[in-house]
Structure 1
């Protein structure tokens, strides 16, 4: 039976540069990259290729020492052009000089009757070898799921409520046909429910409305209503010892395509967004594409973000699209000082705090152009009660952050750290008057708990 959840807390950030539902033609990026840094759990990545090697799309190029049979595969075919390392030889990127036409590795295909009778063990083996397993993330901790675990449920958020968010159903494109197959495969891994969560304020896309074997839940409210962590909290919360899995609609379809067509297809429709983009819309490319290739001609002092403005990664024009990202955002840099800027109410500024942004509350339909300026430096961590107004979960985030800073393990667990990952507190960070890097603080706490 489906549920309808109405959230009273949250805050929508209405920015200029939303993507128009139109796919623009672009040339294929010359280089693509797989970044081990996209996977928070990966502490001991091991290479399977060297510079100069020729690879196909779907060729395993990397694995983690702690899960040696889970492969991370090349998104395109071509030549391994560079293996980039950082301090202490930390592996940062495997760059691939792409062929003009992508050539795929061949994997086994299955018809409908094969999939129905396929065992969990055989499905698992195929997914790990075929490069699609990293689509499955585990809660708690927000890491790639351990194949040995059995989740109590699987959660799929079918909408994104972040600023400038793309339409996830539109981005599936021709992969819609594989979505149901992906669901059928995932069902083999849990005795619980597969929760498919949709936006209760919008028309349901046909691909989601017709999904079988799922519980279709509606969420109504402001951001972060689309965050899967918020949805889990209201449907089946994570307690200590619980394990749940999350997958994006794109990940579900990619799993289905591996079993149906026998290939690891990293092609995706990416939203190009932001006030500094001349024609925000969508483009077709592959995972790991160079951002400058996707955005076209953008000039000025701007920031190129792989992902959305709240949780994305500042990559630069020559950086690469993250494994889990389906959006590129370009906004102005805020590397300037503004005298008393944080004290002056203004119609051009967006703020959650009514004392500073009263005019933005009076004109809720206005689209704002914001830059990266924080309008102040880091300050003492004060209790304002603001976080609790935007996080629609029964959690006290202010005290959780303080427990993390104090490395108080018992308090962290009692205050709900098992239910959170970075995206769940990104809105708290946006409105934080103390200018703390709350997402990084939370990840530090997660690592402390995970490794304890």
Structure 2
């Protein structure tokens, strides 16, 4: 097994680390489908508020990719439809009703790549794949040069994916072998050095161990180390829990909307791993879980760049609640003072990528940029071009195989508080011609 050791990164010792054992989460009364990030959608024939839907039923038809379905994650009544300032559909909330039957559709087994592609698109799991360059949902007819499966997480207070995989090892293995059908290139299963994931029979599946502090667990780091991509050679990546969902679909022919998240932080009564469901409403998930419910504002995602959401996003793997996170400004200051570093005042919420307003305050070369960076290119020149919104220069430096999460640490330690993740997202949108 190949091992990649990374010497750069940042480790934070924070209170409220989750117990790495699986527990049943509280009942979820509301769930939501949410728009995949950086994906161009043109919904038609959409459901309306007050309309009953069954789990697994289509919520709308996308004119750009009608073969890729977007399904209801639960049975119930459509209680809320959200749109952004440009009237683009962003979320469909469902009030769960356990008495309503699910949409029972037994998906047939697959024998080849064409059938698997069709299955993933009809089941809605296609939208859990991410393609780089540009960190978007792959086009329905795309073929990757390589596929990366993320089976590790180095974010502070994160769940250990090895624990989750161990509970569903058979389904995970089925999913890994299936994904190998979608590419003629390698399939990399990226894990921590100490993990012991089962070996696969397919010779193109390569298990690679990464050692180091965050961001050693990010897909962007794995891609740059093992198979750098460009416009002509796109690669895909997918989280291990979505691989398990694919394996479940292939094994039983049924959809799996269950997910495991780490509930962590000093304000959590019992930090642990919770089994919940895709798109769960935070109010339901956190009921009875927090010590202080008045002076806290839990975030979904990492402590470096988590967002205040109403529901779990499809790619959220942790929810953090801490006294240090109760203010929308100064979040990074609290954490960095604990880790002995310096930072400008920032919010734990980065809304610039969604709103179009990016917080950029000039550029100051910070020595820690390169110390914490695991990027294959020098960090300072790239960050300088993004701060100037010089996107052509950023592309020439190799920004295409990066995603917003790859620059979270740089924003976290930035002395002037620049939002580099949002600047990178704006860069990708301009380079692709998307609004």
Which bracket does the TM-score occupy, shorter chain normalised?
Answer: 0.7 to 0.9
Give yes or no for the alignment of 1:304 onto 2:298.
yes
Aligned to 1:14: 13
Q: Distance in 2 between matches of 1:180 and 1:347?
A: 39
Deviation at 1:20, TM superposition (A): 0.7
Q: Is the 8 A contact 2:52 2:76 kept in 1?
A: yes
Displacement of 1:347 in angstroms is 11
Paired residues for 1:247-262 under 5 Å: 247-262=238-253
Q: Partner residue of 1:426? A: 408
Residue in structure 2 matched with residue 313 of structure 1 by the alignment: 307
* Alpha-carbon spacing, 1:262–1:393, altered in 2? closer, same or farther (3 Å): same
The Cα shift of 1:254 comes to 0.8
TM superposition shift of 1:417: 0.7
SS at match of 1:179: helix
Q: 1:129 aligns with which of 122, 133, 157?
A: 122
Alignment equivalent of 1:408, drawn from 390, 396, 400: 390
SS at match of 2:220: helix
Counterpart of 1:76 in structure 2 is 74
Check the 8 A contact 1:159/1:168 in 2, yes or no.
Answer: yes
CA contact (8 A) 1:58 1:263 kept: no
1:332-391: CA deviations, max 9, x gaps?
A: 3235789xx97xx999622335xx9xxxxxxxxxxxxx99599xx974311223212111
- SS where residue 162 of structure 1 aligns? coil
Query: Which residue does the alignment assign to 2:421?
Result: 439
What residue in structure 2 maps to residue 280 of structure 1? Answer: 271
Cα 1:233/1:26, change in 2 over 3 Å: closer
TM-score (ref. length: structure 1)? 0.85
| Cα deviation digits, residues 276-332 of structure 1 (max 9, x gap) | 1111112222111111222233323212212222232212xxx11111112211123
Structure 2 equivalent of residue 192 of structure 1: 185
Matched-pair contact (CA < 8 Å) for 1:33–1:96: yes
**Secondary structure of residue in 2 paired with 1:95:** strand
- Decide which moves more: 15-24 or 136-145: 15-24
Gaps of 5+ in 2: 351-358
- Measured after TM superposition, the shift of residue 241 of structure 1 is 2.1
- Which of 243, 249, 267 is equivalent to 2:258? 267
Residue pair 2:77, 2:94 contacting (<8 A) in 1 also: yes
Q: 1:103 to 1:173 in 2, by over 3 A?
A: farther
Counterpart of 1:210 in structure 2 is 199
- CA deviation digits over 1:51-103, x for unaligned, max 9? 22222221121344321211121111112122123434332321101123674
C-alpha change, 1:220 and 1:78, in structure 2 (3 Å) is: same
1:405: how far off?
4.4
Is contact 2:56-2:103 (8 Å) kept? yes
1:137–1:143 Cα contact (<8 Å) kept: yes
What corresponds to 1:361 in structure 2? none
1:429/1:437 contact within 8 Å kept: yes
Q: Is the 8 A contact 1:34 1:93 kept in 2?
A: yes
SS at match of 1:67: coil
Please tell me whether Structure 1 or Structure 2 has the larger radius of gyration of its CA atoms: 1
Distance 1:252 1:185 in 2: 9
8 Å CA contact 1:11–1:352 kept in 2: the answer is no
Query: Which range moved further: 8-17 or 95-104?
Result: 95-104
State the distance in 1 between where 2:8 and 2:427 align.
Answer: 24
Tell whether the 8 Å contact from 2:150 to 2:219 is kept in structure 1 after alignment: yes
Q: How does 1:324-343 map to 2 (within 5 A)?
A: 324-332=315-323, 333-334=326-327
Say if 2:329 and 2:347, in contact at 8 Å, map to a contact too.
no
How far did 1:407 drift? 4.2
1:418-444 CA distance string (max 9 Å, x none): 121011111111111111111111111
Segment of structure 1 superposing worse, 242-251 or 275-284: 275-284
How many residue pairs get aligned? The number is 417
1:97 alignment partner in structure 2: 95
Tell me the distance in 2 between the aligned counterparts of 1:435 and 1:16. Answer: 25
Aligned to 2:27: 28
Look up the SS of the partner of 2:421 in the other structure.
Answer: helix
Q: Report the 3-state secondary structure (helix = DSSP H, G, I; strand = E; otherwise coil) of the residue aligned with 1:219.
A: strand
Q: CA offsets, 1:208-259, max 9 Å, x none?
A: 2333321011111111000011011111112342200101111111112122
Question: SS of the counterpart of 1:143?
Answer: coil
* Partner deviation per Cα, 1:13-47 (whole Å, 9 max, x = no partner): 221111113444444221111121x4221343445
How does the TM-score come out when normalised to structure 2? 0.88
Within 5 Å, give how 1:388-399 maps onto structure 2.
Answer: 388-399=370-381
CA contact (8 A) 2:387 2:423 kept: yes
Equivalent residues of 2:20, 2:159 under 8 A apart = no
Superposition CA RMSD, Å: 2.8
The whole-number CA distance in structure 1 between the counterparts of 2:336 and 2:384 is 34
* Separation in structure 2 between the aligned mates of residue 288 and residue 399 of structure 1, nearest angstrom: 38
CA distance in 2, matches of 1:337, 1:119: 52
Check whether the contact 2:107–2:119 (CA below 8 A) recurs between aligned residues: no
- Give unmatched runs, 5+ long, in structure 1: 357-369
Query: Which whole-Å CA distance do the structure 1 matches of 2:328 and 2:71 have between them?
Result: 38
CA distance in 2, matches of 1:403, 1:197: 30
Q: How much does 1:404 deviate?
A: 3.3
Say if 2:329 and 2:348, in contact at 8 Å, map to a contact too: no
